[in-house]
Amino acid sequence: MDFNLTATQQAVADVVTSVLNRDLSWDALVSGGVAALPVPERLGGDGVGLPEVATVLTEVGRHGAITPALATLGFGVVPLLDLATDEQQDRFLADVAKGGLLTAALSEPGAALPDRPSTTLANGRLSGTKVAVPYADSADWIVVTADNAVVVVSPRADGVRLAKTPTSNASQEYTVTFADVAVDESDVLAGAAPHRVNQLALALIGAYTDGLVAGALRLTADYVANRKQFGKPLSTFQTVAAQLSEVYIASRTIDLVAKSVVWRLSEGRDADADLDVLGYWLTSQAPPVMQTCHHLHGGMGMDITYPMHRYYSTIKDLTRLLGGPSHRLDLVGAQCSSN
């Protein structure tokens, strides 16, 4: 594989950067045409694929933007493009280019992104509880993984209950309970499996995290290069340089595995092993990287008007979403023992 961006990916990165350099909001991404990028051309979009969506999310992360981009594009649009029929896409993706939100209910109490969810779909009725569902209250549709199907449900359907839960970065997140919710056959993604939805979600979380870590590294490197102590820039002190080099190594390895996963999935190759490594590497390396960046900023890292807190808090939320490093290491071990 080639780790360099393709011409299309570079064009996408340039568009996202030009928007976020002016405004970090979701409205800005919508008005700048970013939300429309993966939407099929017949629905007014540009029809780009998984690698380009990953590029969008990496740039969103690099700028430390807290928006519904991951939920809508990563958890909603990409799985629907991969698994839904054209008729279903026409219905569920109709408003995305205009700023409509999508999300996905993938995790359950005590189970992060399970391939065998306890949420059930039986006789056209959906029952179960999902946790860590981003922007559920604002979304038009929720992609839901169940024991034997993947379905799409409106958060305003009868039997759907939302309970807001706290997050580190103050973004919207909910526990969603489905109490015997009626699901029409047209809302079932025929032949879709939770495993595939989880693969895509983890890959795009990886792309977003890649950007977050790279952005925090750049922010910290600039800070220590300009902040002086004892008449010298902090970056000239050996201990500071050594700590920053550790951040750089972690950033490059996250970038490597994140790009590998996206490439494998987009090429139709087996990505399970790389996905397990990605999940572990994100949860075990990204949090300490953020701690180091925070430490190198000193008291400035505590200032909520300074951007460092957006990177750190978002990484904390993503680590929780993935189940933490111990859970992810167990999955790597299971992968090794099965081969």
Domains and CATH numbers, the chain: 102-187 (2.40.110.10), 194-337 (1.20.140.10)
pLDDT mean over 108-121: 97
Q: Kindly provide the b/e burial profile for residues 182-194, where b requires at least 16 CB atoms within 10 angstroms of the residue's own CB.
A: ebeeebbbeebeb
Out of 111-125, 151-165, 216-230, least confident range: 216-230
d(CA 246, CA 296): 12
**pLDDT (0 to 100) of residue 232:** 80
pLDDT mean over 186-191: 96
Asked whether residue 230 carries a pLDDT value surpassing 90, the answer given is: no
Give pLDDT tens digits for 41-60. Answer: 999 999 999 999 999 999 99
- Residues with Cβ within 8 Å of 34's Cβ and at least 6 positions away in sequence, in order, are 15, 16, 19, 56, 69
- Reported as type and span, the H/E element at residue 121 is strand 120-122
**pLDDT (0 to 100) of residue 304:** 86
- Residue 292 carries which DSSP code? H
Closest CA to 99 of 64, 79, 72: 72
Asked whether residue 224 carries a pLDDT value surpassing 80, the answer given is: yes
Please give the residue that has the higher pLDDT: either 146 or 236. Answer: 146
**pLDDT (0 to 100) of residue 293:** 95
SS3 content of the chain, % helix, strand, coil (to 5): 55, 15, 30
- Residues with Cβ within 8 Å of 102's Cβ and at least 6 positions away in sequence, in order, are 71, 72, 75, 76, 77, 80, 92, 93, 96, 139, 140, 141, 142, 143
Token digits for 158? 């009868």
pLDDT mean over 48-74: 98
- Residues with Cβ within 8 Å of 188's Cβ and at least 6 positions away in sequence, in order, are 121, 149, 150, 151
pLDDT confidence of 339, banded at 50, 70, 90?
Answer: low
Asked whether residue 281 carries a pLDDT value surpassing 70, the answer given is: yes
pLDDT mean over 188-201: 97
Asked whether residue 185 carries a pLDDT value surpassing 70, the answer given is: yes
pLDDT mean over 115-136: 98
| Mean pLDDT (the chain, rounded) | 95
d(CA 267, CA 290): 32
Look at the block and give the residue holding tokens 């179960």: 128
Closest CA to 100 of 157, 51, 43, 147: 43
d(CA 110, CA 87): 35
Look at the block and give the residue holding tokens 């190759």: 269
Please give the residue that has the higher pLDDT: either 335 or 191. Answer: 191
**pLDDT (0 to 100) of residue 3:** 82
Asked whether residue 236 carries a pLDDT value surpassing 80, the answer given is: no
Asked whether residue 250 carries a pLDDT value surpassing 70, the answer given is: yes
Give pLDDT tens digits for 23-39. Answer: 999 999 999 999 999 99
pTM of the model: 0.96
- Residue 237 carries which DSSP code? S
**pLDDT (0 to 100) of residue 233:** 78
pLDDT mean over 166-194: 97
